[in-house]
Every structure is written in structure tokens, then in C-alpha cells.
């Protein structure tokens, strides 16, 4: 199977059908020397995502901002209040009480882009599902992996 096609199927499976349309055409794929599998995806030498061995994608804030053009992708995101924005940008976890809006497709362990006014400020792994985030008023919702101000 074509590597780009496999990547598109993975994006559609994880984030919703049709989201892969926003994947740029001029991407570069780096393969693992040991296994021969897709390892990293780049656009103009800028990292877009890394494929995990469990089948998931570790996306960057840059790639999440590209995919945000899709309405279906936004259902995998959450939005934080203005008070927590500087902390999240520096890489601190997102707490439930600071979430102002939450998409319905967030699952435990899924990659979640964190938004502030339709701009991706960080990406992390969800600790709770969207239903739990909406109902709880305390505790960690998302552990941040990559943010705008973090050194890359």
C-alpha cells in the first residue's frame, strides 16, 4: 500500500472521515531503518507527526493547526480559558476547571489539540474522556506533550 494513502487512512480513522483532505500534498515521509515502517512525516523540513507503534499519531501543534480547517477535527479538540493559556503554552497540564469547551470525540489516551480562540496552543494526551472532562471540575484533563513555547 502507498505510504501516503496509509497515512490518510490513519488520519481519517483517528480524527474523522475527510480530515485527511487537509494533509498537504508535498509531504516527506521518513522510514525506520530497522523496521521499514513510517516513522515521521515532514513538510518543508518541519515535523508534522510521528506514527506510534500502537497505530496512533503524535501530532505537532503546527499540523493540528492545519487540520483545524476541518469541522470534524475540531471535535477532537478542547478550548481553555484565558487564565490558563500562558501555563499551557509553556507545557503545563490542562485542568478540568480551565476547560471552556470540549469536543465530543475525545477519548482516554487520545491526542488532543488544546485551543484558545481557534488557535492551537498545545497538543497532549487526554487523561479523561470528553464526558468526564465536562462533568468533573477538578483534576488533570490533558497532559501536554508539545506546546508553542516549548523548545523543539
Domains 3-67 and 75-147 equal at CATH topology level: no
Question: What is the four-CA torsion angle of 141, 143, 147, 152, rounded to 10 degrees?
Answer: -170
* pLDDT reported for residue 120: 92
* pLDDT reported for residue 150: 58
What are the residue boundaries of the structural domains of the chain, listed by start?
A: 3-67, 75-147
**Exposure of 34 in the CB half-sphere (CA atoms within 13 A):** 1
Cell output for 72: 470534524
Beta-bridged to residue 28, according to DSSP, are: 42
User: Could you tell me the pTM of the whole model?
Assistant: 0.87
Query: Yes or no: is domain 3-67 CATH 3.10.450.90?
Result: yes
**pLDDT tens across 24-42, in order?**
889 999 998 998 888 999 9
* pLDDT reported for residue 36: 87
For residues 145 and 60, give the distance between their C-alpha atoms in angstroms, rounded to a whole number: 9
* pLDDT reported for residue 127: 94
Q: Are 78 and 115 in contact (CB under 8 A)?
A: yes
> Mean pLDDT, consecutive 10-residue segments, the chain of 152 residues?
85 91 90 90 92 87 92 92 91 92 91 91 93 88 83 52
Query: Yes or no: is domain 75-147 CATH 3.30.1230.10?
Result: no
Q: Are 133 and 127 in contact (CB under 8 A)?
A: no
* pLDDT reported for residue 146: 85
Amino acid at each position: 500500500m502507498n505510504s501516503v494513502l496509509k497515512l490518510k487512512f490513519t488520519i481519517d480513522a483517528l480524527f474523522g472521515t475527510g480530515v485527511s483532505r487537509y494533509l498537504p500534498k508535498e509531504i516527506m515521509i521518513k522510514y525506520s531503518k530497522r523496521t521499514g515502517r513510517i516513522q515521521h512525516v515532514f513538510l518543508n523540513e518541519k515535523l508534522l507527526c510521528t506514527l506510534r507503534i500502537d497505530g496512533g499519531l503524535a501530532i505537532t501543534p503546527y499540523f493540528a493547526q492545519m487540520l483545524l480547517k476541518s469541522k470534524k477535527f475540531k471535535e477532537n479538540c478542547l478550548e481553555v480559558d484565558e487564565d490558563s493559556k500562558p501555563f499551557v503554552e509553556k507545557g503545563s497540564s490542562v485542568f478540568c476547571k480551565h476547560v471552556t469547551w470540549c469536543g465530543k470525540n475525545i477519548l482516554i489516551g487520545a491526542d488532543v489539540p488544546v485551543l484558545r480562540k481557534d488557535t492551537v496552543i498545545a497538543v497532549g494526551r487526554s487523561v479523561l474522556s470528553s464526558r468526564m472532562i465536562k462533568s468533573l471540575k477538578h483534576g488533570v484533563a490533558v497532559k501536554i506533550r508539545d506546546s508553542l513555547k516549548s523548545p523543539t
